[in-house]
Structure formats: C-alpha cells, structure tokens
Structure 1
Amino acid sequence: MSLVNRRRRSRAVGLPALLAGALALALATTLAGGPATAAQQSTLHELAAAQGKYFGSATDNPELPDAAYAATLGSEFGQITPGNSMKWDTTEPARGQFNFAKGDVITDFAQQHGQIVRGHTLVWHSQLPGWVGALPSDQVETAMTDHITAEATHYRGAVAAWDVVNEMFNEDGTYRTSPFYTAMGKDYIATALRAAHAADPDAKLYLNDYNVEGLGAKSDAMYALAKELLADGVPLDGIGMQAHLAVQYGFPYRMQANMERFAALGLDVAVTELDVRMQLPADATKVASQSSYYAQVVDACLAVRRCVGITVWDYTDKYSWVPDTFPGEGAANLYDENLQPKPALASVRAALGAEDGGGDPGEPGEPGTLKALYRSSDSSATDNQIKPGLQLVNTGGTAVALSDVTVRYWFSSESGAATYRTWCDWSPLGCGTVTHRVAAAGTPAAGADHYLEVGFGSGSLAPGASTGEIQLRLNKTDWSNFDESDDYSHSTGTTYSDADRIAVYVGGELVWGVEP
C-alpha cells in the first residue's frame, strides 16, 4: 500500500481516555451489583487502570485468526504492541515501496477493542531488508528519515507511542554497530527522534532496549544518552525497558531505583516486552520464582509515578518467541499453551490489587502457608559481609498478615566483634517496612550461633503472591571477616530456590524450614 493511497484512520484512544473508561466500567459494576465476584473479576487492564497505568500484550498477525486467543487479547488487555508487522523488513521491503497491510490489521483490532497501540519499531539493527545494509554510507540517513516519515505519518493517530530506536547498546554500554551507527555515529538516534516527531508530533517517542531494567553499565549508558538528548532539545518522551527476564539469572538489580532516575529526568518509563523464561522442565521452585519476578516488576512500576504501563511479550506460551530463541527454555508467559492462567497471573493480579487472587493456589479456607526462597548475593564467602537475598511466597489459599511473620537466617559469628549492623538494601515492599536485627541463638549449634531475624511492619501477602526480593546485608561493627562456608543457612546458589534451612514463623509458630 503506498503512502499516498493509505486509508484515513480515526484518532486512537488516548491513555487518559482509556484509563477513564476502565474506571467507569469498574464503577458501573459496583453500582450494579457491588464488588466484582470471581465470575466478574476485573481484567488486568482494569486493575492497572485503577492504578493509573495500562496493562497490555504484544501480538502478531498469525495469532489473530485463533478465536479463543483473540477473545482474551481483546478483553483482558488495554494496549497492544505488534511483534513484527511494523518492522522495516515488513513495511519497506524494497526502497520506497511501502506495505502497511499487516500493521493495519493490528491497529484495526485495537480500535475495535478500545486499545492503545505502541508502534514497534522504526529503527533497529535487526530485521532489516538487505537493501539497507547495501546502501552507501552517504545514503543511509536519507533512507532512514524517509522510512520513519512514511511509517509514522501513515500511523499518525493510530499509534500512541513509538519505539523509535530499538537496542542501540551492547552489554558493556558501548554503541551497537549497525548500518545507522556506521554511517552517522550515535547522532543517528537524535536524527531518528526528530524525524519521528516531525511526522507525528502527538506520538510519545521512546528509546527501547533489553537488560536496562536494573542499575548497571547498559542502563548507565542509556541514562547518559537520555540526559544528553534532553539537554540538546531532542524530542524524547520515555525509555522502554524490555524486561525479557529469566529465573536462572536473578531479578534486575534495583529496578525501581533505575526507573526513578529516568523519571527524575522528566521521562516516562514503560515495561515494553515482559516475559520470564525458565529452563525446562518447569518445577514448583521455578514457577514460584517466575511468579515473584512478575510481581516484582508490577510492584516497581506501581511505585514510580511515571511508569506508564506494562506490556507482556504475548500473554500465552502458545505463541511465545522463547523456545525458538533459547533452546531448552520456555514457559515464559502468564497463560499456558492451552490459554489457561498460570500462577504468575495470580501474582500479577495480586500485585495490581485484585482481591480475588485470580487463580487457585489453595482450597478455599486453607490457612495461609509461607515458604522461603534464598539466593546468595555475595560472591565471596570469606569477606566482611553476609548478603542474603530472601523471598517469601504464600502457597496457601488465604492472605497472610506480614506483621505476624518473622524469618530467621542462621550463621556463625567467627572471631571479632560481637555486635552487628544490619541493612535492607532494597525491597519492593519498601525497606522502611522491613525490620532486621541480629540475635544470639539460645542454643548455639554448628554454623548457627547467631541469626538474622527479619520482620515486617505492615502489609499482607495474598494467595500465590511473593514479597519479591528482599536484599539484606549485615556486618560486625569492627568489619572483621566471616567464613560463611559452614553457615547453617548459607548456600552458594545465585538463583532463588526453596531454602529449608531458613525458618519462617507466623504468629510465633514455625510454618517453614528446619531449625538447627
């Protein structure tokens, strides 16, 4: 379809209108019959809209003829990102010959279901038609701006936000080589943003990348670039954090703090491609970690006012990209291959404030049951700090008041000072509500003459939900060394797993773990 002959489109539903619509629906439900029952539970998007956010899903053209899939996509989510149909190899396979038919199917679906659309993506080193890489360097800028102008103009009013430039950094924070970087250096990014703004002044413009969710070299590079662009007056509205996570690699370091520093620049933040994969086969520990990761992402976004929403990278394992890209891994999404909800969905719903739990983690009336997951956050077992990472997961059928919960992690004091300092370095619950102290064991045992006791000032843990990662640290007041290798509760694992040598108590009663 040529740019000249493209169809006119009605204005897309904006985010404020979409959120207002969801809130109105929730109010109407309340007026008609009181709070939503299990049969009338709020959708993910309605729950997010009540918090001032959106909740969306990626999709692609081959999935839409699947009627059951499309029904959930159209009803549960308030935002859509096309996985492939707006990429360069689809929209401009030959120079100057544009075809927007596949993308139009996605925007039409969104308009029919009152959803907003994130355009993905105008400039990317991958999925480029061969002719782009074959261009002489002095023609690349013109080709890039022509492409951006044509596509952003075509979708003006139908796309609320664009991933203008995608994946511009290497893992160490250096710029990724691409035809655009080779021809123009890093200035191609500012040029692309300016061209997109000129074509659609109303669309929100984002830079999007993976492994920029937590603090680190790559997110530092993104932060420095964003500051520079804003100082130069380049139109930039937000940062997209893809969030393709994996339970075997640990949760991104200080994700909320990372979001907050971009927000402090006056930028929006969006979680744009969330999934949480695992090495197959799945087991209870991996599923619990996955549920926790999903909940922690939601918690981080809810805690940052300028985090506008979350998009999962398709909602079902049936159409996941993971197995083809990471052999031996999968089960990354909120619904399984039969479009049935997984425990991760219940965790997301609970994190968004649902009262129904959204799943079936236990029989009705079953007492709340907690278990502890642990990973070592310290690469050395013989330095002067102990740094356990802890998570609690409610495996029962009713909520648990966290003010009733204490956790004990046992260690040996070695020589040196007998007094300690303790810290909570990060928690999605807020470290202000996490209490921590070191106490001497009443009956010392091998590797367990002291314990770190953790408690909570407030809050509750819904069925199937997790506290998220609680990063803790302790040292002796003289900073003398420990030897953790023989500590009762210590292990060398760096990914979360069930920890039966960490004790959890509810109301003073042991509900998880084996005391030394």
Structure 2
Amino acid sequence: MITGAALLTAVLTSVTTPASAADTPLRDLAAARGIYLGTAVTGGKLTGGYGDLAGAQFGSLTPGNEMKWEAVEPARGTYDWTGADRVVAFAEAHGQQVRGHTLVWHSQLPGWLTGGSWTPAQLRTLMTDHITAEAGRYKGRVDHWDVVNEPLNEDGTLRPSLWGAALGESYIADAFRSARAADPAAKLYLNDYSTDAVGAKSDGMYALVKRLLAQGVPVDGVGFQAHLVLGQVPASLETNLRRFAELGVDVAITELDIRMTLPATDAELAQQKADYAAVLRACLAVTRCAGVTVWGFTDSDSWIPDFFPGQGAATPYDENLAPKPAHAGIAETLAPVTPPAPGVCSVTYAVSSQWTGGFTAQVTLRNTGTAPLNGWTVRWTQPAGQRVTQAWNATVTQTGAEVTASHLSYNAAVPPGGTVAFGFNGSWSGTNPPPAALTCATGT
C-alpha cells in the first residue's frame, strides 16, 4: 500500500477552458501554469510547417540526435557542431529553452571510442574532455543537460556499459562535476526510462540520487522518459515524482509519447487524450516538476514505428501536422484555473492514502466570506470512474460520475475564515486523478 500526507493534492473551486484556449499556443498555456512544454525535434526539418509548429507551440527544444556523441565527435578530438548549432539557433530565434541530450550515454557512441582499447584512466579523461568541449561550447545557451542517460538496469543496478563496466558508478559523479565546471548555470539531470512508476528501477534511481547528493555531486534534476503504452499511465507517477522532488531536486517528464496498436481508432485516440492529460496533471501537482517534453510532436517524426512494429500514433499531431485529441487533452489540462471569485466558500481536495484499487481522500471547505455559514454542499465529478464507497463527516451520494456531499447537523455552521473537513474512501482502476473542479454552495 502506498501512503502519504498528500499523494494527490489540488486547490480546486472551478476550472474553465476559455473559448480562446484552443487558439492559445501550448507553450503559453504551460508557462502560465509555471512549467514548460517542450518537444524533441529533428534539426534538419526545422522549416516549413514542421518548423512553424515547433517554434509556435513549444517552449523548449531537445535535439533528438544532434547532440549525441557520435554526431558531435565522429573522430577523436574532431567536432561537428552543425546539427546542434542549428537546433540551438532555432530555439534562440523563437525564445525557447534548450534541453541538451545527451553528454554521456551507452548508445550512439562513435566507433573510434567503442572500438578502442582504453585504460580506465584514459576512458575517464576521454569522457570528461568530451563533456568539457560540448557543454563548454553551449555555455549559457543550454538550460538543462541530460548529463548521464540511462545508467541503470531494469532491476535498478548499474548498467555494465562502456562506462559502468570500466569505471563503476564513479563515472556518473565525474560527469556531473565536469558538466558543472563547463557550464555553471545549466541544470544538470540524470535521465532514464522505465522509472516512471514506483518499482525496482525507480527505487534504484532514487537510491543513486541520494548517494550522489550525499557526495556533493551537483545533480539538479531527474528526468523520467515516459515512453508509455496506451492506457498504462502509472498510477504511482505523481507519487514517484514527488518523492524525488522531496530529495531537493527538480523532476521533469523528458521523453513523453504514448503508443497504440495501428491503425488508430477513435476509442484509442480518446484514451490517448486522457493519458496525456493524466501525465500533465501529475507534473502540475508536483511543485518541483519543471516541465514535460513530448518525444517528437508529430507521428511523421516518431521513433515508435521503427522500434515497435505495428504500433505508433504516439504523438499529439498526426503525420499531416494536424492536432489529434491528445493535443486537446494537453491544452485542456494546461488551461488557466479560474481563481475563486469573491464569495463565501472555497474547497480543497487531497488524496491522503492510495493502494491498488482503493484510496482515501479528504475535502476541506473554507468560509471565505465575512458572515457565518449555516449549511453547505460540495459537488464534483469523478474524472476516471472512481466510486465513493464510504464517507464520514458528511452525507455523500454519487450518481454516475457526479458526487454531492452535504453537511451534517453538527458541522453545518462554519465561522468566517473557518474550515470544515469530511473524508471518504473510494475505489479506482486505471488512474486516480483528482477532480478537475469542486464547487461549493451554502445554505440549508
């Protein structure tokens, strides 16, 4: 069972999607909510409609391949910055951040490096020299670096890569220290896949980050790739993000896509919309979640079909650059939360305990007016089919997805500035997001 004081917490009175929300760039909606929405791009395609969408809709760019070792240092000590420069220049021209991806990885390494016979000392020097050259070139121009990418096995142990096998875990600390020296202002991230849910691999990453921080290693953030399968957004995603944030580091969803079996059906696209929204909500719920990056924004530029035959349609735009329902799911989730109008009550909702198939939530009503309340009612819509099974300190009824909670005789009166709380147990399956909005009314 997973427990915590605030696994899911939201301050909710009313949420609206303005008529103009569909016309507001996603990057602006995200910025207004305090996060960035980014995308991975192919630098050579940053023209025409592809370039227009990349520049207009996203606040951060990640080069898909242009900053990887084999691309920038194809021969020892010989650098080709053409592709990386193109992406960075495009981002600067469009007022976008850049996520540098990646300085040290076990894959896409040049043959001269993987085919060489290096002593551990030589290999360490090659690594730190490469970091110094690349991070130094873009000093002050890259906001976040994936310093070390995919360092772990599925069981959370150190991957026996070129780096891990020869240098052990120490290569990670050396890489971060070299990156900090080369670009003191950039945020430095560990990044990996299959760490989105609480489990063996994320536990290994959690323990690794704790060890590195204890050694004074400058880890600023942890990236969660989130290459997800339709309908399988981890129920513990938010909980997992929060536990890393509580270590004192930023967190980010760095490579989000949600694949499905082709051809895509309307039902699959609707589920994908809900899944994208669920991931965005998890990030918004965690104060130190810096942002979300989709790994390619159009299905014509997605890696999924090449690696998962028969699957695809994983991004928010189709092959013709038309927005899919997933785009609307992102926009609706990022839409501004209407602040509570001057009135008499506001409501907060928090999940205090969650386990497989069940959860406990608390709802708190506050009298925001200047006169005492004499009776109250709270209403909300369960967004994912959750059912109330037991309640206390209120009369709670549910019809379909609609829930109504009313005062009892002993807690009907609420003084100005005072609060009253009630709780309930509920059941869930698939995901357990908080309600998009709770409304309150007063009187008997």
With structure 2 as the length reference, what TM-score do the two structures score?
0.74
Q: Which residue of 1 aligns with 2:330?
A: 348
Q: 2:170 aligns with which of 169, 178, 187?
A: 187
- Matched residue type, 2:379: S
Deviation track 1:324-381 (CA, whole Å, cap 9, x = no partner) reads 11110000000100100101111111111269xxxxxxxxxxxxxxxxxxxxx97xxx
CA contact 2:389–2:427 (8 Å) conserved in 1: no
- Matched residue type, 1:159: V
Q: Which residue of 2 aligns with 1:214?
A: 197
Please show how residues 261-272 of structure 1 align to structure 2 within 5 Å. 261-272=243-254
Q: 2:389 aligns with which of 409, 431, 437?
A: 437
Q: Which residue of 2 aligns with 1:93?
A: 74
Deviation track 1:207-261 (CA, whole Å, cap 9, x = no partner) reads 000111111111111110111111110011000011111116x222311111111
What is the SS of the residue equivalent to 1:403? Answer: strand
Deviation track 1:46-96 (CA, whole Å, cap 9, x = no partner) reads 11111111111110123223x011011111111100000000000111111
Q: 1:69 aligns with which of 39, 42, 50?
A: 50
User: How many residues were matched structurally?
Assistant: 353
CA contact 1:437–1:452 (8 Å) conserved in 2: no
Structure 2 CA distance for aligned equivalents of residues 37 and 287 of structure 1: 23
Q: Which residue of 2 aligns with 1:147?
A: 130
Structure 1 CA distance for aligned equivalents of residues 384 and 160 of structure 2: 36
User: Which stretch of structure 1 is more off in the superposition, 173-182 or 112-121?
Assistant: 173-182
Deviation track 1:279-308 (CA, whole Å, cap 9, x = no partner) reads 112123321221111001100010111001
Q: Which residue of 2 aligns with 1:403?
A: 379
Q: Which residue of 2 aligns with 1:115?
A: 96
Distance 1:303 1:329, change over 3 A: same
Distance 1:73 1:124, change over 3 A: same
Structure 1 CA distance for aligned equivalents of residues 195 and 426 of structure 2: 23
Deviation track 1:80-124 (CA, whole Å, cap 9, x = no partner) reads 000000000001111111111110000000010000100000000
Tell me, which stretches of 5 or more residues in structure 1 are unaligned? 1-34, 356-376, 379-386, 390-401, 407-426, 440-450, 459-470, 475-493, 497-516
What is the SS of the residue equivalent to 2:267? Answer: helix
What is the SS of the residue equivalent to 1:175? Answer: coil
Give yes or no for the alignment of 1:236 onto 2:212: no
Structure 2 CA distance for aligned equivalents of residues 317 and 166 of structure 1: 24
With structure 1 as the length reference, what TM-score do the two structures score?
0.64
- Matched residue type, 2:235: Y
Structure 2 CA distance for aligned equivalents of residues 453 and 217 of structure 1: 37
Deviation track 1:105-152 (CA, whole Å, cap 9, x = no partner) reads 000000100001000000000000112222323321011001001000
CA contact 1:212–1:222 (8 Å) conserved in 2: yes
Q: Which residue of 2 aligns with 1:414?
A: none
Structure 2 CA distance for aligned equivalents of residues 258 and 303 of structure 1: 12
Structure 2 CA distance for aligned equivalents of residues 280 and 388 of structure 1: 33
CA contact 2:227–2:258 (8 Å) conserved in 1: yes
- Matched residue type, 1:118: R
What is the SS of the residue equivalent to 1:291? Answer: helix
CA contact 2:238–2:286 (8 Å) conserved in 1: yes
CA contact 2:132–2:182 (8 Å) conserved in 1: yes
Q: 2:283 aligns with which of 301, 306, 317?
A: 301
Tell me, which stretches of 5 or more residues in structure 2 are unaligned? 1-16, 338-354, 360-377, 392-397, 406-424, 432-444
Structure 2 CA distance for aligned equivalents of residues 170 and 131 of structure 1: 25
CA contact 2:230–2:258 (8 Å) conserved in 1: yes
RMSD in angstroms over aligned alpha carbons?
2.9
CA contact 2:387–2:427 (8 Å) conserved in 1: no
Please show how residues 440-451 of structure 1 align to structure 2 within 5 Å. none
Distance 1:39 1:300, change over 3 A: closer
Q: Which residue of 2 aligns with 1:4?
A: none
Q: 1:319 aligns with which of 288, 301, 316?
A: 301
Shift of 1:388: 7.9
CA contact 1:193–1:205 (8 Å) conserved in 2: yes
Identity %: 50
Shift of 1:404: 6.2
